[in-house]
Structure 1
Amino acid sequence: MHPGDVAPHGSAPAADVPGHLLTSGTWADVYALDDERVLRRYREGRDASPEVELLRHVRAHDFPAPDVLDAHGSDIVMNRLHGPTLLQALGAAEITLADAAQVLADLHHLLHDVPAPEGWGSATARDWPALAGGPVVVHLDLHPGNVVLTEHGPTLVDWANARAGHAELDVAVTALLVAEVAVDAGGDYSQAARALLAAFLHASQVSPRAAIDDAAGLRSVTPGLLAGERELVPRGAALVRSLLDLTGS
């Protein structure tokens, strides 16, 4: 989720939606039903069942993710999380870059201890057809905007891209997402993102080097990327490689 995906505070819903719009991302909108529940609704009738299956699977393995309370068709009702995102906490100087990097690395480590569901298939033609499966659950969108710092600890949200895969690719995608911010010369957070990236690569227990090209390939076909954003992908990949070379990872 990017800053532009966040609905303005107090936004009123349209007449046909169930509550206040909290966030709007590439695939889905999230509405507040009440203080305890949110509704995540996929647009264009996309089937939510793969996300529901993986969410229930990772929660059964005690991974910190939202609980699914109900689901049908394109809708998922989940418990509402309270707290700032890791991105918001960084912006407010409520957490250091080193600690934020450790949060990201720890979530990867915890998630990659979760085995892929038995019989889980590979990606569909709609979602990255070249992506094969793998032995563990991967999120493929783990970045500071998708981590909520609740009173119970960091919790990972937005599981639209999650599937079976390999830890190296998941770590590479996170590194590339941060690197794209770092190489954006016109961005307000480029310098901080570079420091966060270096700290994340140092903290990670898995080297993403072997999967950088695959991560860049996935990012280059991500729906919703503008031409200028797409141009950041190869530059971000080059930055990740250069930082790995410096550390010998």
Structure 2
Amino acid sequence: MNPAQLAPHDDAPGPLLTSGRDADVYALDEDRVLRRNRDGQSVLREAAIVRHVWAHGFPAPQVFRAEGADLEMERLHGPTLLQALAAEEVPLREGATMLAELLNRLHRLPVPQDDLLTVGNADDVVVHLDLHPANVVLTESHGPAVVDWSAARLGSAALDVATTALLLAEVAADEGGDYSHAAQVLLVAFLAAVDTDPLPALDEAVRLRTRDSHLVPGERELVPAAAALVTRYAHGAHS
């Protein structure tokens, strides 16, 4: 990350830990962080989802306060799964199984009854829609825990799986990239371990991904090749 991104803001509530696509995360102390949406968007829907999954035992940070664009949460300590994979501290297939089991477990949770969350179909479940190795923190207290719930909502389990598969496949499709082969191994193992077939929702995942305004140059061009990889390997995993 560019060090300039970690420069403190004038109204920063504490040291800036990281800057994501939409938000900045500040350390309040050793036990709490504050995630602040830069565009001022309300965090209430995100907070409702995280509180629900946490209350049902899913490994996610505890929410302490949600107000306006600010979400105060438990601070999780540990490397991300991405860091552990890159350091070869976690084998690729183990990491893929970890991602699959997190999604399988998430999709088995009861649907929250909250006016902030809209149920579109009878089979809707809680979906994260941005689960990838950088959004899994390997903690001592929770084990693998999922962070960054800003895209979470109620929706199709197949779309959630297709989104994760597509994100992995984009790295695999980047021929000549440093992590292309590792991402391919991760993708194949993930599709073999996850309960839900992503193919019925792959077209929707592709549409959402190509419309993402946060893609960096070159990412959008990888989406068609990534979708082809997901189709190829999912056919074998769910045939």
**Alignment TM-score > 0.5, same fold:** yes
- In the alignment, what sits opposite 1:128? none
Asked whether 1:48 is paired with 2:37, we answer: no
Structure 1: stretches of 5+ with no match in the other structure: 123-131
Give the % identical residues.
56
**TM-score for the superposition, normalised by structure 1:** 0.89
| Superposition pairs of residues 137-148 of structure 1, within 5 angstroms | 137-148=126-137
| Superposition pairs of residues 95-244 of structure 1, within 5 angstroms | 95-118=90-113, 119=115, 120-121=117-118, 135-152=124-141, 153-244=143-234
Structure 2: stretches of 5+ with no match in the other structure: none
Task: Summarize deviations over 1:160-201 as a string: whole Å, max 9, x none.
Answer: 000001111101100000000000124210110000000100
User: Aligned pair count?
Assistant: 235
Q: Which range moves more in the overlay, 185-194 or 196-205?
A: 185-194
Task: Summarize deviations over 1:87-113 as a string: whole Å, max 9, x none.
Answer: 000011110001101110110011001
2:218 counterpart SS class:
helix
Q: Which range moves more in the overlay, 11-20 or 47-56?
A: 11-20
Q: Please give the alpha-carbon distance, in whole angstroms, between the structure 2 residues aligned to 1:73 and 1:60.
A: 22
Distance 1:75 1:141, change over 3 A: same
Q: Please give the alpha-carbon distance, in whole angstroms, between the structure 2 residues aligned to 1:234 and 1:244.
A: 15
Would you say the 8 A contact 1:39–1:78 is kept in 2? yes
Asked whether 1:38 is paired with 2:27, we answer: no
Q: Please give the alpha-carbon distance, in whole angstroms, between the structure 1 residues aligned to 2:23 and 2:7.
A: 17
Distance 1:78 1:42, change over 3 A: same
**TM-score for the superposition, normalised by structure 2:** 0.93
